[in-house]
Amino acid sequence: MKKYSILIPLLAFLISSTTFSCKKEKLGCENGNLCFTLNGNEVSVNAIRKPLPNDRFRLYWLQGNDTSYKSVTIDVFGNSAAEYTIRDNAGANGDVSFQYFIYDTVVVANYQGIDGILNLTSINNDQWTGTFSGNVTNGTSSFELKDGKFFDVALE
């Protein structure tokens, strides 16, 4: 019986650790979050969606004030579950533009999408879910944009 008194708490700890770590991993991009990896850095933000003229929708996030802020802007030219193309000159139906901007009294980083794919996989109760990947530029160098996903991003 003494052997079991040590094993039972250990077993309970291992089960709870596994359960909680699995739950933590699942939180990655749920409940309106938008996530991606850019140049080896993971970005995870709480995005919203805003309708714009000409059947264009903006997934975006903004944090900061007038002198220091970060933003993510993804403009999707369309409103149906489909595959869209990330372009540096997006503007036609089926196109997507991507920007990750960091400003701290001067422009610190301005990453613009140049190519790639965005899959809008689900529109459920007017919430969008999908994935994206591609390449971006900061004006001088190109970087891989990968592991992009968004889950249940609702209208503002």
Quick one: pLDDT at residue 32? Answer: 61
Quick one: pLDDT at residue 126? Answer: 83
Average pLDDT of the residues in 36-53: 93
Residues of 65-102 as b/e, b for ≥16 C-beta within 10 angstroms? eeeeebebbbbbbbeeeeebbbbeebeeeebbbbebbe
Quick one: pLDDT at residue 59? Answer: 96
Quick one: pLDDT at residue 17? Answer: 37
Residue 66 binned pLDDT confidence (cut-offs 50, 70, 90): confident
For 7-41, how does the pLDDT look when each residue is reduced to its tens digit (9 = 90+)? 444 334 433 333 333 333 334 576 568 999 998 99
The CATH number assigned to the domain with range 31-153 reads: 2.40.128
Quick one: pLDDT at residue 27? Answer: 40
Q: Is the pLDDT of residue 146 over 90?
A: yes
pTM of the model: 0.79
d(CA 72, CA 86): 14
d(CA 145, CA 37): 6
